Amino acid sequence: MVQTLLMIDTAGRLQNRTDLMEELSKIIRVIRKKDPSAPHNTILVLDATTGQNALNQVEVFQKLADVTGLIMTKLDGTAKGGVLVSLADKFALPIHAIGVGEQIDDLDAFDPHEFANALTGS
């Protein structure tokens, strides 16, 4: 049996742009016509520099798109990464990866112990 993996990267979504968010819902509706159980994973990529705004972002995206996991980028060069703690507390979603730079190798697996140590400087 041939297995197919379809990965869709939806660009430039903002939770306060209802037109773009409506487009996102439509993408999901169209996918579900082909496979009612899809999408099997919906990963929201958050920018750490947005700080506490990430909480609202996850809330809005979760209502529309059943977010199943998070990635947080730009943890280099910002002290706002602590919002990941609030996100984990509020939404209990798996954090799949973190971005710590602009190179391809800078997307790291999320390690909660390492993250806590970096946050507290221990």
Ligand X SMILES: Nc1nc2c(ncn2[C@@H]2O[C@H](COP(=O)(O)OP(=O)(O)OP(=O)(O)O)[C@@H](O)[C@H]2O)c(=O)[nH]1
Interacting residues toward ligand X by CB under 6 A = 11-12, 45, 73-74, 76-77, 99-102, 106
User: Which residues fall within 8 angstroms of residue 8, CB to CB, at 6 or more apart?
Assistant: 27, 31, 39
Q: Smaller CB distance to ligand X: residue 12 or 36?
A: 12
With CB under 5 to 8 Å by kind, the binding choice for 77 among ligand X, Mg ion, none is: ligand X
Q: Smaller CB distance to Mg ion: residue 73 or 115?
A: 73
Size of site (CB under 5 A) for Mg ion:
1
Which 3 state secondary structure label does DSSP give 11?
Answer: coil
43 DSSP β-pair partners: 69
Q: Compute the radius of gyration of the chain from its Cα atoms.
A: 16
Q: Smaller CB distance to Mg ion: residue 6 or 85?
A: 6
